[in-house]
Amino acid sequence: MYNQTDEFQDIRDAVRQLCSHYPDEYFRKKGEERAYPEEFVDALMEAGWLSAMIPEEYGGTGLGLTAASVIMEEINRSGGDASAVHGQMYNMGTLLRSGSKEQKDKYLPAIAAGKLRIQSMAVTEPTTGTDTTKLKTTAVKKGDRYVVNGQKVWISRVQHSDLMILLARTTPLAEVKKKSEGMSIFIVDLHEAIGNGLTVRPIPNLVNQETNELFFENLEIPEENLIGEEGRGFKYILEGLNAERTLIAAECIGDGYWFIDRATKYANERVVFDRPIGKNQGVQFPIADAFIEVEAANLMRFEAARRFDAHENCGAQANMAKYLAAKASWEAANVCLQTHGGFGFANEYDVERKFRETRLYQVAPISTNLIYSYIAEHVLGLPRSF
């Protein structure tokens, strides 16, 4: 809850302390240079914050999704952008849940120690979008290797990661009983792959996110890099989406509180017509409304995380948390910008930077309309719409 202590206060205080070394000016400069916040990411990894969900047996802290979501929230509430690091939180989950003992022993300790980045996951394609079962990237088994051909788009942090999770079709769509079958996931060593069958093309975009288009041309992947059983990759990917959506919701909660903090501070300090503008109900009511929405979304975030950590079904809660939090943060962003007036458009206030960052989550990693479809079908029992 807003400005109140909770059971995670020690985590909050420690993350805020680390983030204080990377103030607004740091992220503003990175944005102007279109640069990746390497120093910030390294500091988080060295402090162990990004290994929160890795079990202690592999060198992580085993704190669970609830604590991990608090870490993401605090990064954004401090004015940072957790999108630079959140892949490290949830991408390793695919390996943890579905990988072999040999794969876990090989990769997880190094990931927990901050020696390996697993920041990237390649699923989306330019012609299929969210219709994942029709993806066209193929991985054909030849001897002891898989040969990959195809294309991916909007794949983030490839240039700042060591490993990538790749979803590709290993059995043609026409040969499977269910369209969700016949896809497999692989660990890709990016240092070996780039320039040897994998070409990375950056996509300039609205926010300072390193995101790319990928081209696979006869990329060879060792068979031991297959995660789980061949043909069950889509199921493995789906298992991790609840964690991803809950963490994104937490980031939006952090953004929402940041916008409310800035709007409230400015409304108290800005004097027009010999009175602080925050004294006007036309200014204070929208801020109060935005605050109420963020608080409500925050409750759903914690319920989704609680269910996930208790190994309960949390699909509906994770989707609703992401929807409510993204909506609340965007409304808070608009209120904050409006409260600042013309100064909200000035780079030095950082409102416009955070405004752009939080807008993304109306679209990614899942659009609002698909959340509506999920709730309609899986919660309300309405017929599938697509």
- pLDDT for 322 equals 98
Provide CB contacts within 8 A for 218, sequence distance 6+: 147, 148, 149, 197
- The conformational region for residue 381 under phi > 0 = left, psi -120 to 50 = alpha, else beta, is left
pLDDT computed for residue 1 by the predictor:
58
**What's residue 337's pLDDT?**
98
> Residue 140: which H helix or E strand, with range?
strand 138-142
Q: What is the mean pLDDT of the chain?
A: 96
pTM over 0.85? The answer is yes
**pLDDT confidence of residue 386:** 84
**Which of 251, 242, 253 is CA-nearest to residue 328?**
253
- Looking at residue 3, what is its pLDDT? 67
Q: And the tokens for 333? A: 């962003």
SS3 label, residue 7 = coil
**Spatial separation of the C-alpha atoms in residues 312 and 318, rounded to whole Å:** 12
Please tell me the distance from the alpha carbon of residue 18 to that of residue 46, in angstroms, as a whole number.
Answer: 11
Distance in angstroms (rounded) separating the CA atoms of residues 50 and 293:
28
pLDDT at position 118 is 96
Tokens linked to 232 = 């069950």
- Of 220, 227, 219, nearest to 200 (Cα)? 219
d(CA 63, CA 224): 29
**Tens of pLDDT, residues 40-52:** 999 999 999 999 9
The list of the chain residues with pLDDT below 50 reads none
- Size of the chain in residues: 386
Locate 383 and state its tokens: 């017929």
State which amino acid sits at residue 77. Answer: R
Q: What is the pLDDT of residue 239?
A: 84
Backbone angles phi, psi at 243, to 5 degrees: -65, -45
